[in-house]
Amino acid sequence: MKRSGIVLLVALLVLSFTGMALAQCPSTLEKIKNSGVFTIGVRNGSPPFSFINKQNERAGFANDLAELVHKALEKKLGKQIKLEMKETTPTTRIPLLTSMSVDLITETMTDTRPRRDSVDFSLTFFLTGADFIVKKGTPIHGTKDIGGKRIATQQGSTNERVLREKYPQAQLVTFPDQAAAFMALQQGKVDAYCNDAIQLWGLKYKSATPDQWEVVGDWISYEPYGMAMRKNDTDFRAVVNNALMEAIEGGEYFKLYEKWFGPKSDVPYPMSQAFKTFLLYQVVPK
């Protein structure tokens, strides 16, 4: 190629780069208003928060909360907005958010201080801690028994980090997703799988043989779930938080909790009094 041709090509490339960069600067609310689409990041296999159910539809507690945010958005912007769902994983969700591919992560993302360097979080909408799931009868009852044992974790999760830093005596086998980790446990290739307790309960109840599995441990970590969004987008964050506050105040949140974690649900997980108080105190006055 001739030299002038190359120069022209490079110039075009640079222009298109900056052009796209500039075009993507608007705030999330403007972006949603202009495109008419609100994209949330969900999961395929994190029951009961965000998963694909037996009817092959996306469902879950976090998805239902996202619907409430969606309604609040439509009200705020005064027009109909299409709700789109995109699959994310712990390793892809922050890049997908910062690259504008999704507007809100609504699944099982723990709010942490390092993550707050990259994204902003909503109110805490669920509280859990990391435990272990083992085959019934395995001599693992908590962190004191994991020395030298093969423990499966999910890459990019907070529990993986806690285990690596605080319990170096455990032998970690890290998988990119929950399905692979649980499969390895089912086949006896690992002795336990560590994840947030509520997700392990979800796995146990969704497995073909729930009685075979036991969730053990005493919360080696504290995992407050929040919805994640792009940093420094105060107006959008206010819409999300107000929607959650209204749901807690108006009781809709508790109805959804009953649907997904009540005694008649697949994953009964009674709400502690402390968590209920904590939820109510997060609601600031009108």
For another protein, the binding residues (CB under 8 A) are: 17-18, 20-25, 90-91, 94-96, 98-101, 114-115, 117-118, 150, 152, 155-156, 161, 173-176, 180, 183-184, 187-189, 230-231
Run of H or E including 18: helix 3-23
To another protein, the closest distance from the beta carbon of 94 in angstroms equals 5
CA distance 59 to 68: 14
Quick one: 91 or 272, whose CB is closer to another protein? 91
To another protein, the closest distance from the beta carbon of 128 in angstroms equals 19
Quick one: 95 or 250, whose CB is closer to another protein? 95
To another protein, the closest distance from the beta carbon of 127 in angstroms equals 22
Quick one: 26 or 262, whose CB is closer to another protein? 26
Strand 130-135 to strand 58-59: parallel, antiparallel, or no bridges (unpaired)?
unpaired
Tokens of 21: 């960069």
Q: Where are the alpha helices (DSSP H) in 78-209?
A: 93-98, 158-166, 178-186, 197-206
Quick one: 57 or 165, whose CB is closer to another protein? 165
Quick one: 19 or 268, whose CB is closer to another protein? 19
Which segments of the chain are extended strands (E)? 37-42, 45-46, 50-52, 58-59, 82-87, 104-105, 119-128, 130-135, 150-154, 171-175, 192-196, 213-216, 223-230
To another protein, the closest distance from the beta carbon of 141 in angstroms equals 21
- The values of phi and psi at residue 206, to 5°, are -85, -15
To another protein, the closest distance from the beta carbon of 171 in angstroms equals 9
Nearest to 67 by CA among 215, 256, 193, 196: 256
Quick one: 176 or 262, whose CB is closer to another protein? 176
To another protein, the closest distance from the beta carbon of 37 in angstroms equals 16
